[in-house]
Structure formats: structure tokens, C-alpha cells
Amino acid sequence: MTLKRKILIGYGVAFALMGLVVAWAVTNLVSLGKATDAILSENYRSILAAENMVDALERQDSGTLLMFLGDVDKGISLFRENEAVFLEWLARAKDNITIHGETELVQSIESGYALYRKAFSGLTDFRDTTGPAGHSSRYRESVYPVFLRVREACIRLRHLNEETMYSASVKAGRVARRAIWSTVLVAASALLVALIFSWFLAERIVRPIRRFMEASRKISTGDYTVQVPVETGDELGRLAGEFNRMATQLGRYHEMNIEQIISEKNKGEAILSSIEDGLLVFDTDLKLTGINPAARRMLDLGLAEVSTLRCADILPDPQVCGLIREAVDPGFHTAIPDEKRIITLAGGDESRHYLFSATAIRGRDRELSGIVLLLKDVTRLKEVERLKSEFVMAASHELRTPLTSLGMSVDLLLEHAAGGLPEKDRGLLEAAHEEVHRMKALVNDLLDLSRIEAGRIELEFESVPVATLFDHAREVFKGQMDMKEVTFSSEMAGDIPTVRADANKITWVLTNLLSNALRYVGKGGRIRLMACRIGAHVHLSVKDDGPGIPPEYQSKIFQKFVQVKGREPGGTGLGLAICKEIVRAHGGSIWVESNVGRGSTFTFTIPVAR
């Protein structure tokens, strides 16, 4: 028998028992309904007829009394009206005779009422021949006794049906109690049988599964000799046979591959040990699972146990762990700048600087299974960069004085002696004038950039309206835009709050970006200043419809001395680098979005004033 058939049989037995309980309950409900219907149909109509006959009879008696009071016509009319009512209900009582003794009562009522009508007729026949005293005597002797007998018979008919109804109600109660207890007994018996059968069937099905679980645990511990006994011919029995064959094959593969696996593991550990850069392996919860000797030396872990350490326990800056997770997140596409990927660790008398990079370890379904963190010692490079910055600052400072003197001399020559020089000599003097001023601008930019990188720039933060920054930048280039016939516009998305910034420095950033846009946009082109709030920052953008920036330059355009090849040189290559450092000093970031032939959009962020 297959496993499917066993389960179907189990459900079939349960449904059959459920149907039995339902059928028994329905049978009892039908029986109870019949008993209740008998109460209503057999007795209630007779009780209602008796009540209405008593009521009609008493009204007829009232009509008789009206006659004695002198209102003969009204009395007779009342008697005749209720006579029809009485006869109607009497007919209904005769049609609804259902119990023993009811026939005799109805006949007595009918015969008595006939006498009552006869007595009333006799009373009306002598209404003119006798006086009021005679009428009263005749009423007491012949009419009133008959009235009482008929009324008493109607009341007995009502009492007889009420007693019968009460007996039927008691019987219905017994039927209901018997139905309740019999239904409970049948349901309890069915439930007990279903539980016993279910337990037996579940045990038959689960017992082989328990053996599979036990065998799986043994295989996970390395015991590949385990075998599951095959006791049935159903699907579980066939599964047991396949499981045994699988365990046998796994044992063979284990014997074949264990030496190769150990060899590859030793080879991998040797490679990791020989790498001078630090390597750390984390799981998806950033818990350390592996580390090479170089990383142990860098983090001063020695031979300590690392299986319980997490990223936050090893790296001093808690933001670094968040950056590591962002670097391997498929939904995070923004590149992390190099300056944010530097970790500084205190070691002895000096601090060491390490550049980290994170690589995701993904499984077959591209799901994240781990993270590899590479730490590269860049302390020497940082020192060289510091020395270079100091040298640039010192050299720029020393060059400023002779360049100033040289510029003044060239300016004096152009002012006083240029008129007496030949055309060729005057051209050389003007070229020297332009180059001297270009050198002075380069030296000033180098000094500004060196101060910003060294953290020596002083920023005067205040709450500044964005509209004020846009107005200042537009006023600087208003004349040049008119000459070049460039359309200029400013757009603000919604109610832009004030920003926390040094107005002069941010205006310098805007003017530098506008200057670049004005330099490359064609005649009749368009430049737009845009602002919008996103979260706790305001995004300021300068958009033009110029030639755009090739993709290979977009990631390097903010580095020092980088200029797009093939473009007309007009600057020192330091403007965007200075912009980047000023924006960073404000706690923001700057980037470019550009398509060749479709223009460029430079965007930077400034925090909202609080």
C-alpha cells in the first residue's frame, strides 16, 4: 500500500465518523422538531378556539343584560354578532379534535349552546308581554344556568388542551435531553476512535522518518556506514533504499576526497599566511570567521581566539562596519571615496593608516554568504602625501613674493615702455603678463587647497537662505552671460529651508561651477541653478547643455590637476578639487552626472540649518 493511500484511508475514516455524528445529530433535531410541531399544531388551535368562545359567550351575556337595561335593540344586535363568532370558533374546535375526551366536551358545548340560543329566543318572544321583573326572573331561571354550563364546558376544553400541551412539552424536553446526551456520546466515541486511528497511522508514518533523522545526524558527524532498514513497500520504503545508496556513495567520495581537501586547505592557508596585507573574513552578521597572520599583527590580536569577535570589537570606528556592509550591498551603487576607506590604528609610538576594501562572498544563487576585508598599510603613502602638501604649501608661499614682483614689473613695462617697443617685443611682453597672472592664480589655488587639506581654513558658519547664494552667484556672471547670450534660470523645489554654511565659501563653489559651465556652453545655451531638499540636506545643482564629460573622466574630475583632454585650457585644474574640499568641510558631498553631447549637472549637498 502506498503512503498516499494510507493517508487517504486515514482521512476517509475521520470523515466517515464525522458524517456519522452529523447524521445522528440531524436525526435527533428532526425528532425534536416533530415534538415541538405537535405541541403547536394539535393543542394551540383548540386553546385559541376555547378562549374566543368564552369571550363571545360573555359578550352575548352582556347583550342580554343590555336588554334588561332598556336598550333592547342594541342588546339583540350584540347577541347576534357574537353568536356568529361563537359558531365560527366552535366549528374550528370540532375540526381540531385530536385528544381523548375532547369530542364529548365539544358535543356538550354544541348542545348546551343550542339550549342557550333557544332560551334567549324565548326571552325575546316575551319581551312585550311581561315587565322588567318578569324578564329578570325568566333570565335567572332559564338563560343564566345554560350560559354557565356552556361557559364551564369551554373552560374545561381549554384546560384539557393546556394539560395536553404541557405533557407534550415535558415529552419534548425528554427528547431534547436524550438527543443531547446521545449526540455527545456518539461524538465522544467517534472522536476517541479517530484519535486512536490517527495515532496509529501517524506512528506508522513517523517511525521511518525518525530513522531518517537519526541516520542524517550520524552522516553529519562523519559516519557514512549508517543504513536505514527497509520495512515497507511504499514511498518511504523506496526512499530508505535511495538513502542507503546515497550514504554508501558519500562514504566512497569521502574516502576519495578527504586527502585532496586537506591538501587544498593547507595550500590556501599557506597563501593567506604569505600575503603581507591583512585579510579578515566575516559572515553575514559581521562575525569574524577567519584571519591571516598579517591582520593579527595589524590589529594586535596575537594568538587570541577570534571566533567570538565581531567587526565592532576589532575596528575602532563603528562607522567602518556600516561602510563594509554598504560596500557589498547590491542595492548600494555609490562608490565610497578613498578618504572614507582609511582606518587609523594606534600602535606603539605612532599611528598606522590602513586602506580597506570589502569583497562579497556569494553563493550559487547570488546570496551573500560572507565578506572578505582587505587591509592595506598606507602609512608611508599618507606620510608622503603630508610631506607633499607641506612642500606645495611652502613652495607656493615662497613663489608668491617673486611672482608678485615680476607681475608688477611686467605691468609697469606694459604701462610705460610698451609704446616704444616693436610689435613683436610688445607681443612677448603681453604673453609674459598673461603667464605671470596665470602663475599667480595657480599659486593662490595651491595655497588655498593646501590650507583646506591641512584643516587650516576657517569657516564662519551661519544660517544662509539659498536664494541669497543664487543671487550672489548670478550677479557675478550677469555681464558675461549677456555677452554670450546664455539663458540663465534658477529653480527651487518647494519651500527650501536655510542652510548652515559659510556664505563666502559656498558662493565661491557656485561661481566656480558657473564659470566652468559658462566656459563650455555654446552661444545661446542654457544654464540652470536648482535646489531641492532631501532629508537633512539641501541639494544645490548647476546644470548646463554643454558638450558633457566623457565617462572615463567623471570619476577623476575632482582630483588635482585633472582636465578633460581635447578641451581648451582655461584653468589650473584645481577648481573642482577646491570645491570638493570646501563641500567636505561643510559636511556634504559633491558629484557630477553627465552624458556626452547632452550637458552636465554638478550637484553638492549642504546640511539644513537647525
Q: Which of 514, 380, 396 has the alpha carbon at shortest distance from 444?
A: 396
How many other CB atoms sit within 10 Å of the CB of residue 43? 24
Query: CA 484 to CA 499: how far, in whole Å?
Result: 32
Q: Which grid coordinates are listed for 599?
A: 550637458
Residues 517-529: tens digit of each pLDDT = 888 888 888 999 9
| Per-residue pLDDT, 602 | 94
Q: Which grid coordinates are listed for 448?
A: 588655498
- Sign of the alpha-carbon dihedral angle for 207, 209, 210, 214: positive
Q: 60-74, 283-297, 330-344: which range is least confident on average?
A: 330-344
**Is the confidence at residue 129, as pLDDT, over 50?**
no
Q: Which of 454, 462, 467 has the alpha carbon at shortest distance from 385?
A: 454
Q: Which residue has the higher pLDDT, 174 or 511?
A: 511
- Sign of the alpha-carbon dihedral angle for 53, 54, 55, 57: positive
Domains contained in the chain, CATH given: 3-195 (1.20.120), 222-268 (no CATH), 275-377 (3.30.450.20), 384-454 (1.10.287.130), 462-607 (3.30.565.10)
pTM for the predicted model, two decimal places = 0.41
Q: Which of 434, 433, 440 has the alpha carbon at shortest distance from 401?
A: 440
Helix (H) or strand (E) holding 239: helix 235-274
Q: Which residue has the higher pLDDT, 596 or 297?
A: 596
DSSP string, 490-552: EEE-S-PPPEEE-HHHHHHHHHHHHHHHHHHSPTT-EEEEEEEEETTEEEEEEEE-SS---HH
**Is the confidence at residue 60, as pLDDT, over 60?**
yes
**Confidence band of 498 (pLDDT split at 50, 70, 90):** very high
**Is the confidence at residue 223, as pLDDT, over 80?**
no
| Per-residue pLDDT, 353 | 77
**Is the confidence at residue 471, as pLDDT, over 60?**
yes
How many other CB atoms sit within 10 Å of the CB of residue 432? 16
| Per-residue pLDDT, 606 | 92
Query: CA 490 to CA 334: how far, in whole Å?
Result: 27
**Is the confidence at residue 80, as pLDDT, over 70?**
yes
| Per-residue pLDDT, 130 | 47
**Is the confidence at residue 54, as pLDDT, over 80?**
yes
One-letter amino acid of 595: N
**Confidence band of 167 (pLDDT split at 50, 70, 90):** confident
Average pLDDT over residues 362-387: 73
**Is the confidence at residue 542, as pLDDT, over 90?**
yes
**Confidence band of 194 (pLDDT split at 50, 70, 90):** confident
Strand order across the beta sheet in which 487-492 lies: 487-492, 526-534, 537-544, 599-607, 590-595
Strand order across the beta sheet in which 288-291 lies: 288-291, 278-282, 368-377, 350-362, 342-347
